Amino acid sequence: MEYVAILLIIFAAFYYFIHHRYLKQQDLKDSSFKKKGPLLNSKESVFYNALTTAVGQHGIVMSKVMMSSVVTPKETDKKRWFIASNRIAKSYFDYVVCDPRTLEARVIIELDDGSPLSKGKIERQKLLMHVCKSAGLPLIGGNIKMSYQVGKLRRLLAAHIDLIEPDREVRFCKRCGTPMVIKTAAHGDFKGRRFFTCSRQPHCTYTENYNVVFEEES
């Protein structure tokens, strides 16, 4: 028993010695770095290119954006703020489509690389969905196939950001023939999503999905 205790003391002393003598004395110049290669792997790059094409001039696409750069905990209680902040500390969003003028995040896109569902992947998806839902950020799930379906990507994005000039796009109510107006859903599952609605509301309640215009593409 004594023997073990002595050994432990020696070990602790040794650790303390090493720690102070070497690690603390290390200079910044003793750490050197090398480049890691491209920021995105080939699949991520192809998807990125499709996304920038789909968005065009209507948004700026950022990739691998730290969650903490986009959202912050709502909590006012210090401890809970710290826990919430810790939850997102090491995570990033795959792609963030930002407003081209203000760079404010408008849509989050998660790319499914096709790898099988693992515990880590499920945890990440849970976190993503929760973060986006509570922050009121639209989340779109993308997959590799969409890298070759720019029209489909555009269709998904169109519900959240301006991809068409509203004044150029004139639609008429299919029920009464009156020109329709663009509105944004204020609540419900589609909160923040835009749609066309008859300008004679509440007399005529006809509405139309905003993104129908892209249906013919790709």
Query: Binding residues for Zn ion, per CB under 5 A?
Result: 173, 175-176, 178, 198, 200, 204, 206
Provide, rounded to whole angstroms, the least separation between the CB of residue 194 and Zn ion.
Answer: 18
Cα-Cα-Cα-Cα dihedral sign, residues 138, 143, 147, 149:
negative
Residue type, 21: R
Nearer to Zn ion, 204 or 213 (CB): 204
Backbone angles phi, psi at 54, to 5 degrees: -65, -40
Instruction: For residue 60, give the 3-state DSSP assignment.
Output: strand
Provide, rounded to whole angstroms, the least separation between the CB of residue 206 and Zn ion.
Answer: 5
Q: How far apart are CA 34 and CA 60, in angstroms?
A: 29
Q: Are 63 and 95 in contact (CB under 8 A)?
A: yes
Nearer to Zn ion, 145 or 174 (CB): 174
Nearer to Zn ion, 152 or 183 (CB): 183
Provide, rounded to whole angstroms, the least separation between the CB of residue 54 and Zn ion.
Answer: 31
Nearer to Zn ion, 68 or 199 (CB): 199
Provide, rounded to whole angstroms, the least separation between the CB of residue 202 and Zn ion.
Answer: 11
**What are the angstrom distances between the C-alpha of 203 and each of 61, 110, 199?**
41, 40, 9
Residue type, 100: P
Provide, rounded to whole angstroms, the least separation between the CB of residue 147 and Zn ion.
Answer: 39
Instruction: For residue 57, give the 3-state DSSP assignment.
Output: helix
Question: Tokens 């703020």, residue?
Answer: 81
Provide, rounded to whole angstroms, the least separation between the CB of residue 169 and Zn ion.
Answer: 17
Question: Tokens 């709502």, residue?
Answer: 74
Nearer to Zn ion, 29 or 203 (CB): 203
Q: Are 62 and 98 in contact (CB under 8 A)?
A: yes
Nearer to Zn ion, 190 or 206 (CB): 206
